[in-house]
């Protein structure tokens, strides 16, 4: 554990065997695999819910049923605060909407996002996504190697997202740094400072888009109505910031987890290169095997769960990793199996706040597999690397190098 001064005191009455040495931002004990770290925690205790003194102290849901309840039952687990530590990252992020709103208040704001991110609204983007994907792969394919995180994963989804919101690519480093302060803070600035920086960036853009018009997502937010009235400037800015934070991290990391896994599975590569009809199953199996979000909720009122009392105002983290990686939900859950008949997962969350960007993420992954395997049918991890994952609200991969035979 860290120094005792940095750790919270357990709530009164919490049994000692419920207290675990687990920091979601640094969950690793003797290894550096995010999913193994979570399963080690689950396997270390018979309980469905445990308490950790890290990050101001909070509960962690371990069973699939409880994880699902935390995401789905807003009457007991509120989205008012979704990050830990509660008093810093949690309260700062709670200024953004619609994730910090519970039903029914969140619905009109969520509809604004759905209008631009669901189903048919995403289809027109595919040609642009495909061209950018091809251009990126062609830029390094002849080299026989690439740093996948830096040369592809941090390029494709972020550039596509910047097109979606019609913002200059040159603004990406600043925006990505601010977004990371909520999911994996590095201490360079506080979450409150990141929030203020986002507001300073977004407010003039919202004013400009209201006057100028256009078809991009930020203009749609700036000019939309909720409950039969125009959104206030504050509401539009808070919704826009939520979009920016959500769009600048998750797909980058999911692509990185996926390609690192496939690099270690030559038999899967051979099948995907030979049969594009398997790509859909491959994406779904990656979503099942590689979930990476561990969001939190605030307890609405004192409630007994698995023999302990969660008090009003307590925070509980619900790792989507442990929903899919439980043998009750999927047989042999750590195995990557293209032929799996049933895939139970919560990679995009559950309930009212299921990720609105899932259609764009799936399309980007589909295009990646199609264009990658058309040019690089066999690849591997370059030997001698130290491979590490990152913890956090959204898990990630440290950069790694892939290599392949040229020609």
pLDDT digit string, tens, across residues 72-89: 999 999 999 999 999 998
Give the confidence band of 329 by pLDDT, cuts at 50, 70, 90: very high
Could you tell me the two tokens for 148?
């996948």
Q: Write the DSSP string, 18-67.
A: GB---BTTB--SSS--HHHHHHHHHHT-S-SEEEE-STT-EEEE-SHHHH
Give the confidence band of 352 by pLDDT, cuts at 50, 70, 90: confident
**Spatial separation of the C-alpha atoms in residues 93 and 84, rounded to whole Å:** 10
Give whole-number Cα distances, 102 to 76, 106, 107, 352, in Å.
11, 6, 8, 8
* Rg for the chain, CA atoms, rounded: 21
- Which CATH number does the domain housing residue 256 bear? 1.10.630.10
Counting Cβ atoms within 10 Å, is residue 281 exposed (0-12), middle (13-18) or buried (19+)? middle
Give the confidence band of 2 by pLDDT, cuts at 50, 70, 90: very low
Percent of the chain with pLDDT over 70: 99
CB-CB contact of 102 with 80 (8 Å) = yes
Give the confidence band of 350 by pLDDT, cuts at 50, 70, 90: confident
Counting Cβ atoms within 10 Å, is residue 140 exposed (0-12), middle (13-18) or buried (19+)? middle
Give the confidence band of 1 by pLDDT, cuts at 50, 70, 90: very low
The owner of tokens 């080690």 is: 40
Percent of the chain with pLDDT over 90: 83
The owner of tokens 């939309």 is: 224
Q: What is the mean pLDDT of residues 120-131?
A: 91
Specify the pTM.
0.94
Q: Determine if residue 294 is left, alpha or beta; phi over 0 gives left, psi from -120 to 50 gives alpha, anything else beta.
A: beta
pLDDT(3) > 70: no
Helix 358-375 to helix 279-289 angle (10° resolution) is 120
Number of domains the chain contains? 1
pLDDT(179) > 80: yes
CA quadruple 297, 303, 308, 312: dihedral, nearest 10: 60
Q: How many CA atoms lie within 13 Å of 93's alpha carbon, on the beta-carbon side?
A: 31
In this predicted structure, what is the pLDDT of residue 187? 87
Bond prior to 104 in cis (omega within 30° of 0): yes
| Residues near 65 by beta carbon (within 8 Å), at least 6 away in sequence | 48
Q: What is the mean pLDDT of residues 152-166?
A: 93
pLDDT(390) > 90: yes
Higher pLDDT, 119 or 313: 313
Residues 16-48: pLDDT tens digits?
999 999 999 999 988 899 999 999 999 999 999
Higher pLDDT, 152 or 352: 152
**Spatial separation of the C-alpha atoms in residues 361 and 175, rounded to whole Å:** 19
Which domain does 135 fall in, by range? 4-403
In this predicted structure, what is the pLDDT of residue 407? 74
Counting Cβ atoms within 10 Å, is residue 192 exposed (0-12), middle (13-18) or buried (19+)? middle
CB-CB contact of 360 with 116 (8 Å) = no
Give the confidence band of 213 by pLDDT, cuts at 50, 70, 90: confident
Residues 261-304: pLDDT tens digits?
999 999 999 999 999 999 999 999 999 999 999 999 999 999 99
In this predicted structure, what is the pLDDT of residue 5? 42
3-class SS at 355? coil
Average pLDDT, the chain: 93
CB-CB contact of 391 with 23 (8 Å) = yes
Q: What is the mean pLDDT of residues 180-197?
A: 89
Closest to 122 measured CA to CA, from 251, 13, 269, 273: 251
């Amino acid at each position: 554990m860290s120094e005792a001064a940095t750790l919270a005191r357990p709530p009164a009455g919490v049994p000692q065997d419920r207290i675990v040495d687990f920091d979601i931002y640094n969950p690793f004990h003797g290894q550096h695999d995010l999913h193994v770290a979570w399963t080690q925690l689950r396997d270390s205790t018979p309980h469905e819910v445990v308490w950790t003194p890290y990050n101001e102290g909070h509960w962690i849901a371990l069973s699939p049923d409880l994880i699902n309840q935390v995401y789905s039952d807003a009457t007991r687990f509120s989205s008012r605060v979704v990050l830990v530590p509660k008093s810093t990252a949690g309260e700062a992020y709670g200024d953004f909407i619609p994730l910090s709103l519970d039903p029914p208040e969140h619905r009109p704001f969520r509809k604004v996002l759905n209008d631009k991110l669901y189903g048919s609204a995403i289809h027109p983007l595919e040609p642009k996504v495909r061209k950018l994907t091809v251009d990126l792969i062609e830029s390094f394919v002849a080299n026989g190697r690439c740093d996948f995180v830096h040369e592809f994963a941090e390029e494709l989804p972020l550039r596509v997202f910047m097109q979606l919101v019609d913002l200059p690519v040159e603004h990406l480093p600043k925006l990505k740094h601010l977004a990371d302060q909520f999911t994996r803070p590095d201490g360079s600035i506080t979450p409150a400072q990141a929030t203020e920086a986002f507001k300073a960036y977004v407010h003039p853009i919202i004013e400009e888009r209201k006057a100028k018009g256009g078809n991009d997502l930020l203009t749609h937010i700036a000019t939309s109505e909720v409950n039969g009235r125009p959104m206030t400037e504050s509401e539009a800015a808070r919704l826009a910031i939520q979009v920016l934070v959500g769009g600048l991290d998750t797909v980058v990391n999911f692509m990185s987890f996926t390609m690192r896994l496939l690099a270690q599975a030559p038999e899967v590569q051979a099948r995907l290169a030979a049969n594009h009809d398997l790509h859909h199953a491959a994406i779904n199996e990656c979503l099942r095997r590689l979930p990476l979000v561990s969001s939190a909720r605030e307890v609405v009122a004192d409630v007994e769960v698995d023999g302990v009392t969660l008090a009003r105002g307590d925070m509980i983290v619900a790792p989507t990793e442990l929903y899919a990686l439980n043998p009750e939900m999927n047989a042999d859950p750590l195995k990557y199996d293209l032929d799996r008949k049933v895939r139970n997962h919560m990679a995009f969350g559950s309930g009212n706040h299921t990720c609105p960007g899932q259609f764009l993420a799936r399309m980007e992954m589909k295009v990646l597999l199609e264009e990658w395997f058309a040019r690089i049918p066999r690849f591997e991890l370059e030997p001698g690397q130290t491979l590490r994952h990152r913890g956090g609200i959204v898990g990630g991969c440290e950069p790694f190098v892939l290599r392949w035979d040229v020609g």
